[in-house]
Structure 1
Amino acid sequence: MGQCLSFAREFADQAVKEAEQLADQKSEEVLQNLRKKQTTGDAAASSGDSSEAIYLSLPDGAEQHTVRNVYDGDTLTLTDERRVRLLGIDTPEIKEQQPFAQEAKAYTKDRCDKKEIWISYEPSGEMEDHYGRLLCFVWVAEGDGFLCINEGIVEAGFARAYHPGKGNHLHNWDKMIQLQSKARNAKLGVWSEFEDFEVVKTANGSAYHKRSCEHLADVRNLTEMMASEAAEKGLHPCRTCLS
């Protein structure tokens, strides 16, 4: 019996390793394709000198670290095993095979994986989420300045501006929305096939929905608007009806 259990565990571990290898291989293929597009100028996925997400200096108190692994476009692990969740953004889910999930991962991996980065925190904000992940802005050296990955990936169209909490927005929230609008108008990444449509939101909600969303079955006071307007307000699409 013990041998059977041991064999089952080994089989399961091997299956997990193979799945991770396949995911990394796919991510690397996407990354190579992005690099080719950047070289030929066919896409705006690269930060580039014209990027509005590049700054001359780092924020005060920025901490230097090294990245061990990039899980997806908005999550990475440092060499000290602490996990980082990039503030102010939401990237497509790899597990759910959402469009541009691999491209989002490739954007962050190309700039951060196995490299030195700097992290900074929102002034007077939470430093960790309920999963124990650090809530940070991530910075990398770019030419003579520093690229804010959080802003750059929104500018490239591989992430949406996202603020799940209630209360004050992030210090750079207006800029996040500006960069998101820039990507949407250029039809980059997740916005490449965007066509405006009518949506609704609840009085205090941070998401916008289709009117038929199951979460709104008993809700009466709804505000109607266009999806583009909802995005301009910093609302994010419902994970149930607009995933």
Structure 2
Amino acid sequence: MTILFTHLKILVVLLCLPLLANAEIYEWKDAEGHKHFSDRPHPDAKKITVKPGYSYQIIKTVYDGDTVVLEDGRKIRLLGINTPEVRHRDKQADAGGDEAKQWLINKLQNTKIRLQTDEELTDKYKRTLGHLFTENKEHINLELVKAGLAEVSIYPPNLLYTTELLAAQHQAEQAKIGIWQRPEYAVQPVSSLTEAGHTGWTRLAGKVSNVRNTRKSVYLEFSDKFVARIERKWLFLFPDVNNYLGKNLEVRGWLNRNRGRFSMLIRHPSAIVSMK
């Protein structure tokens, strides 16, 4: 019972450490060698350093509008958003890519940030996934969306700040600022798809002529050239997909080509917009 009680005391103190970050914490051992912690002095106790629940860091490098490198070497991919690509070797920059990168450089100069992660810590490229906040409590991911420099791109199970991000995107889109005023990102009819397809993030609109089910996915068929695919494991996030049948919809994302047909993976219902 004594050992259990001691462990419980340690647990309580450790849970409270973020609240006691500016207080003095003391550690000591009793005659049986069990550790004790307290915010009050005790004979033979030593002070220990309490690290807060998060720390601020300096940005070392800004790769583009949604990817940075921290001073500790971690490469961070901002969650919940996507900015246009900047120039990579032989690939030209997407419209708005340089603007997003420069905005981020300017915003992060002479400031420190803290990182907040979500369900998935890294992506397939080993980049750390998260939201960045400045010392002034500015949410960088959100500010990029507000400025019209990024579109919302939700990747379940990472759903933190989805409501805030989508509200900011709606305002930027209605105000036609940033990418929302660029012809490169205007919605295009599905019927305009050619054999060349489309590189980068795009918006397509058309009527759903069929809803097809397979073991792993549900397909919203717009034409013999294009389908939107929803993985079954994320269907619980969506309304009844059968209600999409016969509706005019806009879908947002990246095109993939397979067997002469284009498809777009829809990860979250926010990538589907009803057309009036």
TM-score range, shorter chain: 0.5 to 0.7
One-letter amino acid of the counterpart of residue 173, structure 2: R
- Counterpart pick for 2:122 among 118, 128, 133: 128
Distance 2:219 2:145 in 1: 18
Amino acid at match of 1:103: E
Q: Which amino acid aligns with 1:72?
A: D
The alignment partner of 1:109 has SS state of helix
1:34-83 Cα shifts (integer Å, max 9, x gaps): xxxxxxxxxxxxxxxxxxxxxxxxxx944311111100000000112110
The one-letter amino acid of 1:170's match is L
Write out aligned runs for 1:200-239 (5 A).
Answer: 211=223, 224-227=247-250, 230=251, 236-239=252-255
In percent, how many aligned pairs have the same letter? 25
Is 2:107 the partner of 1:111?
yes
Q: 1:152 aligns with which of 140, 143, 147?
A: 143
Within the alignment, does 1:90 sit opposite 2:82 as a pair? yes
Letter in 2 for 1:80: D
Larger relative contact order (CA 8 Å, sep ≥ 6): 1
Cα distance per residue 1:88-113 (max 9 Å; x no partner): 00110113411100111112111125
Equivalent residue in structure 2 for 1:140, among 117, 134, 144: 134
Cα distance between partner residues in 2 of 1:71 and 1:99: 16
1:63 is paired with a residue whose SS is coil
Residue 106 of structure 1 aligns to a residue in which SS?
A: helix
Contact kept? 2:207, 2:222, Cα under 8 Å: yes
TM-score by length of 2: 0.51
Unpaired segments of 5 or more residues in structure 2? 1-51, 189-204, 229-241, 257-261, 264-276
Task: Judge conservation of contact 2:120–2:158 (CA < 8 Å) in 1.
Answer: no
Give the conservation status (yes or no) of the 8 Å contact 1:69–1:114.
Answer: no
**Residue 78 (str. 1) matches residue 94 (str. 2):** no
Deviation at 1:114, TM superposition (A): 6.1
Structure with the bigger percentage of helix: 1
CA RMSD of aligned residues (A): 3.6
Are 1:207 and 1:238, in contact at CA under 8 Å, matched by a contact in 2? no
- Does the Cα contact within 8 Å between 1:91 and 1:160 map onto a contact in 2? yes
Residue 127 (structure 1) shift: 1.2
The alpha carbon displacement at 1:171 in A equals 2.6
TM-score calculated relative to the size of structure 1? 0.57
Structure 1 stretches of 4+ with a deviation exceeding 6 A read: 200-210
Q: d(CA) in 2 for partners of 1:118 and 1:84?
A: 11
In the alignment, what sits opposite 2:159?
170
Aligned-partner residue type, residue 149 of structure 2: F
Which structure 1 residue ranges, 5 or more long, are not aligned? 1-59, 231-235
